[in-house]
Structure 1
Amino acid sequence: MSNPIKFLIALTLGLILCFFPAWKGTISNPETPYDALKTLAVQLDGRKKPLDTVARETVTQIHGRLDYQPLSGKKLDYLNTYLSLLFNNQDWNDEPFILLSYRPLKTALGLNPEQKYFSFVELVSSPLGSLVLQAHEDRAKDLDLTRDQREALTLENRLALMLETVSSTELPIIPHPSDPKGKWLGIAQASEYYAPGQVETLQTTYDELKKAVQLGVNSDLKSQVLVLKKQLVALSPQVYPSGEKLTREVRFYGLHLFTKAWILYALGFLVMLVTLGWEKLQAYWVALGLFCSGLAVHGYGFWERMQIAGRPPVTNMYESVIWVSLGIAAIAVTFEFLHRAKYYLLAAAPLSVLCLLLGDRLPAVLDPSIKPLVPVLRDNFWLSVHVPTITLGYASFALAFGFGHLLLGAYLFKPTAKDWINRLSRWNYSILQVGVLFLTTGIILGGIWAHFSWGRFWGWDPKETWALIALMCYIVPLHGRLAGWLGNFGMAIASVISFNAILMAWYGVNFVLGTGLHSYGFSTGGSEQTIGSLIALDLLFVLVVFLRQQTLKNQSQSPALS
């Protein structure tokens, strides 16, 4: 079988596995009586979205996961959990539903530091109120908040969201009569827009639906939902979003495209690993086909999210993680087709898988919800060129980080394989050059945008400063290589160590420092201890390889014994 045929078969097989409905649990859950509610339109966070998205975002923002098992009862998915909150069909005050994972804050509030979820009653009866009050006062004075204060404000938002959701009669499902950008109202306020007769009919239908959910009567639920939708559309057909648009967003989340992408990346990685260990298998093109199918699914998911958001999805940490992982895979595939090296995929796949896993498994830390842009980001041209460009620099250096580990592994286990090490070093050098090009261009574009938005090209903002530091951490070793100060081994170490500056510019400024004009990208919930431990282990690995190399060098320079 020819190589192109192998590639096409693997690519096609990967895509079929992704979109074939028989792949249980990845397309959608089995149909339930509540599924008809998924495409009910709601206006929240500056946009109109399906109730399915509202339920996902609400549950993950409060609980940090998509499912919840009450103290008494079977496990609920996100939609059932949200409906239980909305219609208050059980006592939620004592349910350990609210996520709090930051240990220092738990200790400060006198809570069990080993516990991860707490009830509404536990939190409101703790000293949280005084800490939140002080945080608001410091913010009003333009003081920098401590990590404890920022985590306390995040916890306050979770409590407020839960309080707002439970028994809410203000869920904005009533469309504005004429203005597509007008404010939607809750069912209890519908009389502000519409005649009493219309409001009474809506209220009756809504109450019947609410009662059916509360009592668990599912026999006629679907027809009740369809009646409610028809009534809402009839109120303002020119304002109410199309069923196709609402279904598209529900389908996007139901497909779990980014989950499938990392699975295909992992399969491609494993096949490539086996191919290198057993060359008779001749499965290189199969591995490449699987990896490319993952890239296609990943790119399609990114495109769908962009169409739903109406903008490039690169405005928060979650979106940048998805984009960087896509960039790592795309750059690796580009170089792989150029050089047929086999090692680009080995360096890229673990990093892309890790990024997508983090985005998939940590919704409370990397918020996946689609929200309106802050004013400074509403210039789509600069948003579309600056952020993607600078984060492609991050992606390139992440790939070089992976290549650096391959090289250090070669120096540790096969130090005599000089030709192989030289080839890896040349390929790594080309990646570093691409990274410097992207990061430099991104910094310059950011300066131009800052000139238009803030009236200055450069202001030593933490995000700007760390981007420049990161650039210098790569430019200095590259110049050192040209000057002959660093060889292949030195560049391998630089590829690994310098990536810590990228981590600081990308993660550290947002989650650790939390100060500066780029506040729209800041977040909480990151674990400095975990990240710090991983960095320490990685640096220990670098030290072990360095000492090993020094030992070999000293042995080669020692005079032979007579």
Structure 2
Amino acid sequence: MTNTLKKITFSLWGILILIMAAATIAGKLYGIKVAETYIYSSLFFIGLWIAATILSLAYICKRHLKRRKATCALHLAFILILSGALTTHLWGIQGSVHLRQGANPVTTFTTNDGQTADFPFGVSLKQFELAYYQGTFAPMDFVSILNIHDGDTTLTGKASMNHIYTYRHYRFYQSAYDADQQGSTFSVTCDPYGIALTYTGYVALLLAFIGFFFDRHSYFRKLLHHPSLKRTVACLLLLIGSVAALEASVPPTLPKKTAGKFGQLYVYYNNRICPLQTLAKEFTTKLYGRPTYKDFTPEQILTGWFFYYEQWKQEPVILIKDKNVQNILGVKGKYACLADFANSTGYKLDQISYAEITAKELRAIEEANEKFDLISMACNGSLFKLYPFRDKNEKQPVWYSLTDELPISIPHEQWAFIRYSMNLLAEKTAHHEYEAIDTLIEKTRIYQKKEARGFLPSNAQFRAEILYNEMDFTRPLAMLCLTVGMLSYLFYCRKLISEHTDSPQISCLLLAILGIIGIYLLVLISLRGFISGHLPMSNGYETMQLMSLCSILLTFFLYRKFQLAISFGYILCGLTLLVAMLGEANPPVTQLMPVLASPLLSIHVVTIMLSYSLLAFIMLNGMTAVVLYHTRTDCNEQIIRLQVISHLILYPAVFLLATGIFIGAIWANVSWGRYWGWDPKEVWALITLLVYATALHPFSLPYFQRSMFFHWFTIIAFLSVLITYFGVNFIMGGMHSYA
């Protein structure tokens, strides 16, 4: 009976994993609404969850897990969370309401299924305010003051991003606002019992996680005393507690010193005020794929396009990856000149039939068009928003370029300075009067400080951003880590195969270099956070940098009894840095979206990245075991030891992943009024959790007690991590996508 119950229970969880994976594919092909309607919200899918939960509870009782209190509490916490989700689905109310300032109180709202529901009170919008980041027009927060009319009582409350207003179990979340800033749209939820059950489950789960590591009857504690580990215990407990060639011709440029002074100017770029050096670096990287060209600095390249357009338009500096676009432009190789974009009949990319090209070819053409337009903006000066002007009626200055239409109220002297200063610089450049250029640049900087006084970034932030631009060498660092990692991996594998004695000097040298790399990454991440004013965890580039740092930290926790961790640390650090550069080459430092300005998001990202790092270590450990198995005949003891180490690491990895998912759910509930939305990233994170959780049941699933089965599982299971992060971010889309 128990065996049959076990088979049915685990089979149901396997079916749920397959259905959820299929649903994400269906959502990509036919739209997320189709997946939600016909899969996630279907009675069959909900019934499967209920059946799997009930059978799991029955199996727990049959196994008499009540004697292992922490393990029992762990499973009961998950059941409580699922019960809360079912309660929300059956009785929770979700919808939206639109309010206008000065309008009569509203007593109804529209539910998500298109029906109308009544409030037991009236609600009106007293005031709406859009707050901006200092000196910019990038929204920092949306703030609405609400009036609640309940009988003869009128109450006032505030709703903003990450700040919920609650009255009589109805929760109002700031969702959107009208273009005239006189109205606001709110997400509305009423789910007192479902949220209470779910949050209780989250707390119970966290307590169960903590208790599990100290439960003397847990399998984790038995693994800690495994004879193959000897004195590895302290190390792991510490871990758990720590959370192309130069061309013959050289185009003319400004001298490096003079171009560097241009980089010291303020510029309004990407919805924030930053050094012009940042714009120059991102301009060059966007164009060429790298921040330098022919040993020129980014400032020399950007100003070269403005001051020496005729010469620079012949430079093969525009990266074109797509073969079809290369053929259209008539270039051989990956790089095109600006002159290649046109012929005697006009612009080449306008001469093709768009009806006959694929979506992929269209994206490649659009990318080439974007680079052409970017150069055009640099050449005509519209890219250089260097000139702030604050009208008497405006709260903050607006930044203009020399080609922008200037306000009528601007004094003639300022109008002339904005219109002609860049042209005067071009004239001085033509005559090589570099001292005069330096003087004009300094006058521009003085003008900026005077006109935008009180709205500029602090001097410390400005200097920090310049330092960040100058010390960001992520690409060569990635290649260095990968090279050292692979060489050291071969070295340590050779030691395992041939049973050579230890080489402490080499290990100490590798650890020292890795420590320096870790310090460098920590400084880089800290600078980026200081510049942006928020923890740098808001996009793919930043989270990959964080994962690189996590892999280094984990290496120092694991290396004493597991020397391969050193090479694993290098390989993981290199791969994640390389992915950061490939996924989003030198992404801009941006102001944080209001909904992302929550400490819960930072905790969520750190926890998830730590989990992914641990799972990557386990995967590399499995690959090592496979190499040993096929190269030696007397390696059984070492393979078992690698299995025990991986199994020990798997517990904190899975628990961190679960914790990260549920912290993300709380953040989503605070921000949008729902803690689960079947977004592809959420679904695949849950799939990954369930996949790896199966390996935590070695007594119920005895195959996981077999060393090679376990190692192959860790290698194959890591595909779910790759899909969760890369597949969703760059292919499937969704609101979690970084693409």
**TM-score, length-scaled by structure 1:** 0.73
Q: Secondary structure at the match of 1:301?
A: helix
| Larger relative helix fraction | 1
Matched, 1:505 2:724: yes
**Are residues 1:418 and 2:641 paired?**
no
Indicate conservation of the 8 Å contact 1:258/1:297, yes or no. no
The aligned amino acid for 1:234 is K
On the 8 A contact 2:388/2:400 being kept in 1, the answer is: yes
> Partner residue of 1:82?
302
Residues 220 and 428 (structure 1), Cα distance of their counterparts in 2 relative to 1, 3 Å cut: farther
Residue equivalent to 1:173: 386
Q: 2:572 aligns with which of 346, 351, 355?
A: 351
Structure with greater contact order relative to length (CA < 8 Å, sep ≥ 6) = 1
Which residue is equivalent to 1:439? 657
Q: How does 1:207-218 map to 2 (within 5 A)?
A: 207-214=423-430, 216-218=432-434
Cα distance in structure 2, aligned partners of 1:130 and 1:511: 28
1:421–1:232 distance in 2 versus 1, CA, 3 Å: same
Q: Verify the 8 A CA contact 1:265 1:290 in the aligned structure 2.
A: no
CA distance in 2 between partners of 1:259 and 1:115 (Å)? 22
Q: 1:335 to 1:376 in 2, by over 3 A?
A: same
Which structure has the bigger radius of gyration? Answer: 2
Q: Residues 18-417 of structure 1: matches in 2 within 5 Å?
A: 32-68=257-293, 76-90=296-310, 95-103=315-323, 106=325, 110=328, 115-120=333-338, 121-122=340-341, 124-126=347-349, 131=354, 146-169=359-382, 171-177=384-390, 182-188=397-403, 192=407, 194-201=410-417, 205-214=421-430, 216-256=432-472, 258=474, 263=480, 279=502, 282-336=505-559, 339-360=560-581, 362=582, 365-377=584-596, 379-417=597-635
Q: CA deviation at 1:437?
A: 1.7
Correspondence list, 1:444-459, <5 A: 444-459=662-677
User: Relative to 1, partners in 2 of residues 1:387 and 1:181: Cα closer, same or farther, differing over 3 Å?
Assistant: farther
Q: What number of residue pairs does the alignment pair up?
A: 469
Structure 1 stretch displaced more, 407-416 or 88-97: 88-97
Distance verdict in 2 for CA 1:444–1:197, change over 3 Å: same
Counterpart code for 2:577: L
Question: Against the structure 1 CA distance between its residues 345 and 439, is the aligned structure 2 distance closer, same or farther, given a 3 Å change threshold?
Answer: same
How big is the shift at 1:272?
A: 9.0
Alignment-mate amino acid for residue 457 of structure 1: Y
Shift of 1:186: 1.8
User: How far is the alpha carbon of 1:45 from its aligned partner?
Assistant: 0.9
Q: In 2, are the aligned partners of 1:265 and 1:291 still within 8 Å (CA)? A: no
Q: 2:387 touches 2:400 (CA, 8 Å); kept in 1?
A: yes
1:185–1:126 distance in 2 versus 1, CA, 3 Å: closer
Question: In structure 2, what is the Cα distance between the partners aligned to 1:146 and 1:451?
Answer: 36
Seq. identity, %: 23
What whole-Å deviation, never above 9, does each CA across 1:299-318 have from its counterpart, x for those lacking one?
12111111112122222222
Matches of 1:280 and 1:45, distance apart in 2: 51
Code of the residue aligned with 1:173 in structure 2: it is L
For residues 351 and 87 of structure 1, the distance between their equivalents in structure 2, rounded to whole angstroms, comes to 43
Shift of 1:375: 4.9
- Gap regions ≥5 residues in structure 1: 1-29, 70-74, 136-144, 523-562
SS of the equivalent of 2:273 reads strand
Tell me the distance in 2 between the aligned counterparts of 1:238 and 1:303. Answer: 24
Q: Deviation of residue 188 (structure 1)?
A: 5.0
Contact 1:87 1:167 survives alignment (8 Å): no
Indicate if the aligned counterparts of 2:270 and 2:590 stay in contact, CA closer than 8 A.
yes
Deviations 1:444-487 (A, max 9, x none): 22233333444433332222222222223322233357632122
Q: Which amino acid aligns with 1:195?
A: P
Counterpart CA distance in 1 for 2:466 and 2:602 is 25
Tell me, in whole angstroms, the C-alpha distance in 1 between the residues paired with 2:686 and 2:331: 38
Give me the whole-angstrom Cα distance separating, in 2, the residues matched to 1:119 and 1:280.
53
Structure 2: runs of 5 or more not aligned: 1-254
Sort the Cα spacing of 1:286 and 1:389 in 2 relative to 1 into closer, same or farther, 3 A.
same
After superposition, what is the alpha-carbon deviation per residue over 1:531-556, rounded to whole angstroms, capped at 9, x for unaligned? xxxxxxxxxxxxxxxxxxxxxxxxxx
- SS of corresponding position for 1:479: coil
Measured at CA, do residues 347 and 376 of structure 1 come closer, stay the same or move farther in structure 2, by a change above 3 Å?
same
Query: How many Å apart are 1:257 and its aligned residue?
Result: 5.7
Q: Aligned to 1:498, what secondary structure does the other structure show?
A: helix
Structure 1 vs Structure 2 CA RMSD: 3.5
Q: Deviations over 1:499-549 (max 9, x none)?
A: 222111211222223x32334x11xxxxxxxxxxxxxxxxxxxxxxxxxxx
Stretch of structure 1 that moved more, 238-247 or 76-85: 238-247
Give secondary structure in 2 for the equivalent of 1:126: helix
Tell me: CA distance 1:167–1:408, structure 2 relative to 1, closer, same or farther (3 Å).
same
Aligned equivalent of 1:470: 688
SS across alignment from 1:175: strand
Aligned counterpart, 1:553: none
Deviates more, 1:350-359 or 1:184-193: 184-193
Q: CA deviation at 1:64?
A: 1.5
**Are the structure 2 counterparts of residues 46 and 180 from structure 1 closer, same or farther at C-alpha, using a change threshold of 3 Å?**
farther
Alpha-carbon distance in structure 2 between the residues aligned to 1:283 and 1:407: 22
| Higher strand residue share | 2
Contact residue 260 and residue 297 of structure 1 kept, 8 A: no
Aligned amino acid, residue 55 of structure 1: A
Q: How big is each residue's C-alpha offset from its partner over 1:281-331, in whole Å with a ceiling of 9 and x where there is no partner?
A: 544434323322221221121111111121222222222221111111112
**C-alpha distance 357-321 of structure 1, shift in aligned 2 (>3 A):** same
1:300 and 1:257, CA in 2 relative to 1: closer, same or farther beyond 3 A?
farther
- Deviating more after overlay: 221-230 vs 394-403: 221-230
Deviation per residue, 1:413-459 (Å, 9 max, x gap): 23412332222222222222222122222222223333344443333
Q: CA deviation at 1:397?
A: 1.6
Native 8 Å contact 1:175 1:240 kept in 2: no
Instruction: Determine whether 1:517 maps to 2:735.
Output: yes
CA shift at 1:83, angstroms? 0.8
Q: Contact 2:402/2:420 (CA < 8 Å) preserved in 1?
A: no
Partners of 2:380 and 2:403 within 8 A in 1: no
Residues 451 and 96 (structure 1), Cα distance of their counterparts in 2 relative to 1, 3 Å cut: same
Q: Give, as a single letter, the amino acid of the residue that structure 2 aligns with 1:97.
A: V
Instruction: Determine if contact 2:283/2:302 at 8 Å carries over to the other structure.
Output: yes
Q: 1:490 offset after TM fit, Å? A: 1.5
Q: Check conservation: 1:39, 1:247, Cα contact below 8 A.
A: no
Secondary structure at the aligned position of 2:695 is classed as: helix
Residues 287, 318 of structure 2: 8 Å contact kept:
yes
Q: Distance between the aligned counterparts of 1:319 and 1:95, measured in 2?
A: 32
Q: Which moved more, 1:458-467 or 1:170-179?
A: 170-179
Distance 2:475 2:678 in 1: 38
AA in 1 matched with 2:293: Y
- Alpha-carbon offset, residue 36 of structure 1: 1.4
Q: In structure 2, what is the Cα distance between the partners aligned to 1:299 and 1:55?
A: 25
